[in-house]
Chains A and B, each alone.
Chain A
Amino acid sequence: MREIASILFGALFTVSLAIALGSLLISRLKIELCRLEAQLFALLAGSGILSFLVMSLCMIHGARRGIFQWGGATVIALAVWKGHGRPKRRELPAVPLTWIAGFAAVFLAFGVYYLVNALAPEVSPDGSGYHLGNVARMWRNHGFVWDYHSMYAYLSQGMEMLFLVAFTFGKHSAAALVHLVFLLALPLLLVCWGRRFGFWKAGFFAATTMIVSPVVARDGAAAYNDLAIVTLIFAVFYLLQVWDEIRQDNLLILIGVLCGAAYAIKYTAFLALPFAMGWLLVGCGWHTGRLARLFLPALVFVAPWVVRNWVWVGNPTAPFLNAWFPNPYYHPGMERIYTESLRHYYNIKHYWQIPLELTIRGGLLESLFGPVLLLFPVALFALRSRFGRRLLLAALVFALPAYMNVGARFLIPCVPFLLLAMGLAMTEIPGALALLAVFQAFLCWPAVLSSWCAPWAWRISTFPLQAALRRQSSDEYITRWIGDYALKRQIEAWVPSGEPIYTFAGRPEAYIDRDIVTSYESTLGNLAHAILWTPQAYLPDTQQHFKMLPVTTRGIRVVNMSFSDGFWTVAELRLYVKGRELSRATGWRISAKPNGWEAPLAFDNSYATRWSTWQAMSPGDRIQVEFPAPETVDEVVIECQPSDGARPRVEVLQTGGRWVPVTDTMEVVKAGPPEGIRRAATRDLKALGFHYILLNESDLLYDDVSKNRPFWGLTELAKANGAHFYHID
């Protein structure tokens, strides 16, 4: 019971603190809002402010329980004191009680279901993985961990900042509950919008259809951030229309705060700011003062994340645009592979499958919105009205990120606009909206939903009351959903604190008290991946010999002369004179372009490591060595797995600093695979600081490891549910 109390306290404290901060801001700005509106906008704006404050604490490693507790209590007390005796805000226009009662019934029934799911131990893939994995790491270190590199750590983490406060008191489930609050706030905001602007039927319809939507439910009841994003985006849209009505310039500050907070939570929400600025420009032309009121507050919330990444990683937009901002932590090529993997769902054979998958099946695009969304073309009838056109424009703009990822949850931000537009289009048809809302609610009730959607659609499918109340052991519950959680105790017993573990697949980092380095999340992960894959994929069994007349030079380089989508790799680059290899002296200066940080891997005498461009090849890519004193060379040998499309040419450095081509003629010799390559791979992994590996039976490397474990020099320490935990001997 004490655990439940901690969870609830953590979530309520965080939400109360956000509302308190938001209330203080709204009061200070003297914005005219109705009562329910003011409370919802206080929550949203306050979340942005709280997130900003926690981020500031994380920068200086001041994110500590005491600061949250006493600082938070002071702010809440201040907000209560300031709010005391303030004149009551007016109410939104009245609506029929039957609609309110109907909506309340759905809201409560589904809300309780979601509450129980959020209260149960967190088992969502990303929630138990990187969202709360980042939070747990920050919690252990009282702030950002500068020497831990993962693409997920570079993303803006506004939501994780809120999670951190909740997590401090109530751990994982408290964080999930904070996200649930956004899920519950969104339909209320939709109802408010409908009531304020005279489309209450559309508002109730959109709110009901939205809250019961399976993807919205599953996402919102987990420690994700999508519902926070959509709520903030809709809030921006909402306030822009309020501003149209009342033209109170202070409102622009609040909109700016919400735009900035949206970016801080997820990059894809950056669109909120240009959308708002565009709205302003269309509404009142260029007005520097107004634009500044919107832009500057947003900048306050955006800038810390940009600056943090610029200083930390060398890339303000990390983990994206790495070709523009080369850095040693994330390769442009990995970024390309990652973004392409998100853009394509390979089981989708035709675009016509997408509407059905998104509304009825849900198996191929991760989840579904429910059958009523299949009527989305009806929304086009809303083009007849000004509000309808605005809603559809917003739906279109906020659907853009789905181009990058067509998974259902990336479309959530456009759905409230689409539903309101559908509501507007059908508002005159007697009973239609109520009927459709009831129809959607009935079909999306979890027990009913499971009877018709694809069995593997991501959704809420259980009512884990015993786990939520902690009557069922959390370990047992989590293991049922996340098999490798069963290795937690062995991992924490075997791996000394501070030592990393290497894995190909993502793990429930939020629950394992050790740093986990995943193959695709960083250059370090990529390197370890490539090393382990050497025997299967990168055996350097080819020698490319470039012979030339003896030349005495201060430098030699091999330059690629062609474009190709593949990466150019060099396992070893050796220099010879009269058949004798030049020994690699400490005075040599080795460099490469691109990915110069890994150039030494072509000069380490290991066939398990290699330099790679880690981006598409282009003319001018090179690997080079300069000598402290002139050296005579008559042959350059590249040992590699040949790269398709590479056209290398040898150049020498002339006195005066000019590079001159000497030969592009190579003799290719098949050298056969080097011996001991498996042992070399684990040796080089150890040199990177890894002594432990987690492998899944589904990992392609597993077969080789299980058959040839002695050759790898691995000892199996534990296994559970298809995951194997090894120590490198």
Chain B
Amino acid sequence: MGCAALLGCGRQAGAFAPPQQRSLDLGPDPGTVGSFVAMDDPLADQYIVRDISSDRGYRRWAFLHPEMRFRVKDASHLNFAAEFALPEVTFKVTGPVTVSCAVNGRPLGSMRCDRAGDWRFEKPVPQGLVEAGKDIHVTFEASPRWISPDDGAELSFFLHSAGFTQ
């Protein structure tokens, strides 16, 4: 033992081949967002800036001026898409609703929804409107909105999902 202590003969590690390479694409961290989100995603709250209900579920109410934020890794050839629904109960009151959308404050387009049910809004994003790696703010406007007779709350539509695709 004494000799061993003098020699310090522990084990030698040797050399290794490179290990399996790990993926770096692991999604967001707290405070960061991706390019697309469904409302039942556990991280959906990260994407909501304002006026979208916080109840966790398959769809959420969009209120007066709904606003969301996203980030993309590549800003070329992007489409923006949103899936939403107009419930029968509000449609009966409002009639046809026009939903418009703006990206970073610039209008992207609008669509007229003339029945109750599911709708999909999809438009190409003009080149240069968004930058990779930076927050992209998306706002929606619905007109007319359903106004609650009880408390005056204004409801636009039920949002299912929204985001940028390539």
Residues in A lying within 8 Å of B, measured CB to CB: 306, 310, 314-317, 321-322, 324-328, 535, 584-592, 595-597, 599-601, 603-607, 626, 673-680, 683-684, 707-708, 710-711
Contact = CB atoms under 8 A, between A and B. Distances in A.
A604 B13 contact: no
A326 to B, nearest CB: 4
Interface in B8-42: 8-30, 32, 42
A427 B28 CA distance: 76
A327 B13 CA distance: 8
B34 to A, nearest CB: 9
A640 to B, nearest CB: 16
Select the residue from B8, B13, B21, B43 with max chain A CB neighbours within 10 A.
Answer: B13
B27 A679 contact: yes
Given A327-B11, A604-B19, A606-B24, 8 more contacts: A317-B1, A324-B5, A327-B10, A591-B14, A603-B18, A605-B23, A674-B24, A711-B30
Given A310-B4, A588-B18, A680-B22, A711 B13 contact: no
23 contacts: A310-B4, A321-B5, A325-B11, A326-B11, A326-B12, A590-B16, A591-B15, A591-B16, A596-B13, A597-B13, A600-B18, A600-B19, A604-B18, A604-B21, A675-B24, A676-B28, A679-B27, A680-B26, A708-B29, A710-B42, A710-B43, A711-B29, A711-B43
A2 B165 CA distance: 70
A588 B17 contact: yes
Contacts of B8: 324-325
Contacts of A679: 26-27
A603 B13 contact: no
B29 A675 contact: yes
Interface string B39-70: 00011000000000000000000000000000
Counting contact residues on chain B (CB < 8 A from A), the size range is: 20 to 34
Given A680-B26, A711-B30, A585 B18 contact: yes
A676 B24 contact: yes
Contacts of A327: 10-11
B29 A592 contact: no
A587 B18 CA distance: 8
Contact of A315 (B10, B17, B27): B10
Contacts of A585: 18
A324 B28 CA distance: 44
Contact of A605 (B15, B24, B28): B24
Contacts of B22: 604-606, 680, 683-684
Contacts of B19: 600-601, 603-604
B26 A676 contact: yes
Contacts of A605: 21-24
Nearest to B133: A672
Contacts of A673: 29
B25 A676 contact: yes
A586 B9 CA distance: 30
Interface of B: 1, 4-5, 8-30, 32, 42-43
Contacts of A708: 29-30
A315 B7 CA distance: 12
Contacts of B1: 306, 316-317
Contacts of B18: 584-586, 588, 590, 600, 603-604
A24 to B, nearest CB: 30
A592 B16 CA distance: 10
Nearest to A585: B18
A401 B113 CA distance: 83
A587 B15 CA distance: 11
A324 B10 contact: yes
B17 A586 contact: yes
Contacts of A315: 10
A306 B1 CA distance: 8
Contacts of A588: 17-18
Shortest 3 CB-CB distances between A and B: which pairs? A596-B13, A676-B26, A325-B10
Nearest to A321: B5
A300 B21 CA distance: 49
A595 B12 CA distance: 9
B24 A607 contact: yes
Given A315-B10, A321-B5, A605-B21, A676 B16 contact: no
A315 B1 CA distance: 10
A317 B26 CA distance: 43
Contacts of B5: 317, 321, 324
Select the residue from A588, A675, A684 with max chain B CB neighbours within 10 A.
Answer: A675
B13 A676 contact: no
A585 B18 CA distance: 7
B146 to A, nearest CB: 32
A315 to B, nearest CB: 6
A5 B1 CA distance: 45
Nearest to A598: B13
Contact of A677 (B20, B29, B43): B29
Contacts of A606: 22, 24
Nearest to A680: B26
A321 B9 CA distance: 11
A325 B9 contact: yes
Contact of A711 (B11, B17, B25, B28): B28
A117 to B, nearest CB: 39
A588 B13 CA distance: 16
